[in-house]
Amino acid sequence: MASSVSANNGTTFTLNLLTSNEEEQAIYVVGNFNRWRVADDHCRMEQVAAGHFRLTLPLDSLPEILEYKYARGSWDHVELDEHGNDRPNRQVLRSRHEVTDEVVRWKKDRFSYPGDLLPKIEIIEQDFDMPASVQTRRIAALLPHNYYETNRRYPVLYLQDGQNLFDDYAPYGNWAVDKRLAQLQQEGRGDVIIIAIDHAMDKRIVEFTPSTTSTQFGKGQGRSYVKFLAERLKPYIDQRFRTLADCHNTGIGGSSMGGLISIYAGMMYPEVYGRLMVFSPSLWVTPNIPFQLLNMKQPFSGRVYLYGGKKESSTMIPNLQRLKKALENHASSKKPAFYLAIDPDGEHNEARWGEEFPAALSWLFFHDQLTTT
């Protein structure tokens, strides 16, 4: 539906939205001016009358062309067009100063996505040749939907706990990475290869525990695991698929214990990984890990997306802040770039990590397309 625009010669930009909101959910504006964060309190709209919502932003903080959508708290409740279909991003020039939009339908089903943009999922090896110290498990590659129709090379993100990434019947829910990649493709930020590595079931804890003596679980097998990822799995992936193999285009990530082992991998192999996606890491397992890692000969200087929810534990956010400070202090001439996302209502679960995934992937790999404020 077309937008109507009125004149405003001030120093602000105002977005007006006309819509019914019978479920009384918070409405946010999400766009290229807030890193496409879907529940950013700075972009929460105020209800000024029945069916009328408004958001005013400083003009000098905005890009020349605003690209945006409206959402009721998550991508699962984003606006649709009048026919119930996903709609393209709205666009308006900053110089217009004010815009009035209308939304007549909202997405309500949890995983609505463009099916034709779903990634192609290939099981690499059900029984990948692993060293004796690493458990056998499924490894899957999620390739861009048009991978075999192009000659392009792609960045790669290695993610832990593959069982919880895209399996619809995962016992604790899943991130819906495949469906969220399809959503990101609509925004022009889904061209990445995801390598989903299943965890080792009953050996998950010991394998994801760093190989130091001062952990809550004793000495883990983390060193063998991250060595396998960097020295065996990555070369295999680079040989089999069209990847951008340098560290600036290679990331690793996970949540909870998977987040902890991803930190460890990034610090052990900074020449391999230049992008870290760390959600709710179990830093309590090894409280001194930031300081143990300071002994590494080559400091990490890439990009790190950290997420934590205040409802997870009283120590989650302080531990993340402590980690960030330690890594910054250890940096030499080039400091790591951090994005610390704190959700005041965030809990420790797969669904919340899935909601955070699009923003994290965009900031880590497609930051040149985003406008920072």
d(C-alpha 178, C-alpha 153), whole Å: 19
- Within 13 Å of residue 20, how many CA atoms lie on the same side as its CB? 5
Rounded to whole angstroms, the Cα distance separating 361 from 1 reads 30
- Per DSSP, the three-state class of 162 is helix
| Rounded Cα gap, residues 143 and 156, in angstroms | 10
Give yes or no for residue 47 having a pLDDT over 70. yes
Task: List the structure tokens of 265.
Answer: 């991998």
Q: Which amino acid is at 312?
A: E
Task: Summarize pLDDT for 160-175 with one digit per residue, the tens.
Answer: 999 999 986 666 678 9
Amino acid at 28: Y
**pLDDT value at position 298?**
76
| H/E segment holding residue 66 | strand 65-71
> How much of the chain exceeds pLDDT 90, in percent?
53
pLDDT exceeds 70 at position 247? yes
Residue 4 pLDDT > 50, yes or no? no
Instruction: Give yes or no for a contact between 37 and 359, defined as CB atoms under 8 angstroms apart.
Output: yes
Task: Quote the tokens at residue 116.
Answer: 């034709």
Phi, psi angle pair for 236, to nearest 5° = -65, -45
The length of the chain, given as a count of residues: 373
Q: How far apart are CA 194 and CA 154, in angstroms?
A: 10
What pLDDT sits at residue 215? 59
Domain ranges of the chain: 4-106, 115-368
Tell the residue number behind the tokens 């290695």, with chain if given.
Answer: 158
**What is the pLDDT, as a whole number, of residue 291?**
52
Mean pLDDT value of segment 104-115: 74
Query: Which H helix or E strand runs over 373?
Result: none
Q: Give pLDDT, residue 373.
A: 32
Q: Does domain 4-106 have CATH number 2.60.40.10?
A: yes
Distances (CA, A) of 217 to 120, 163, 210, 260, 261: 38, 23, 10, 13, 14
Which of 126-140, 156-170, 268-282, 328-342 comes out lowest in average pLDDT? Answer: 126-140
> For residue 1, what pLDDT is reported?
40
Residue 197 pLDDT greater than 90, yes or no: yes
Query: What is the structure's pLDDT at 290?
Result: 54
Q: Which H or E run contains 53?
A: strand 52-58
Structure pTM?
0.71
- Three-class SS of residue 97? coil
C-beta of residue 45 within 8 angstroms of C-beta of residue 68: no
pLDDT at position 126 is 56
Average pLDDT, the chain: 85
Residue 372's pLDDT band, with cuts at 50, 70 and 90, is very low
d(CA 358, CA 36): 8
CATH 3.40.50.1820 is right for the domain spanning 115-368: yes
Residue 28 pLDDT > 80: yes
pLDDT value for 164: 92
Per-residue pLDDT, 299: 78
pLDDT band at residue 315 under the 50/70/90 scheme: very high
User: E-assigned strands of 98-203?
Assistant: 98-103, 105-106, 120-125, 139-143, 156-159, 193-197
13: three-class secondary structure by DSSP = strand
The tokens describing 174, both together, are: 């899943």
Give the chain's radius of gyration (CA, Å).
21
pLDDT tens-place string over residues 177-186? 999 999 899 8
Res 292 pLDDT > 90? no
Which tens digit of pLDDT belongs to each residue from 133-167? Answer: 676 678 999 999 999 999 999 999 999 999 999 98
Please report which confidence band the pLDDT of residue 320 belongs to, taking 50, 70 and 90 as the band edges: very high
Residue 222's nearest CA partner among 244, 200, 239, 255 is 200
Res 6 pLDDT > 60: no
With 80 as the cut, is the pLDDT of residue 105 above it?
Answer: yes
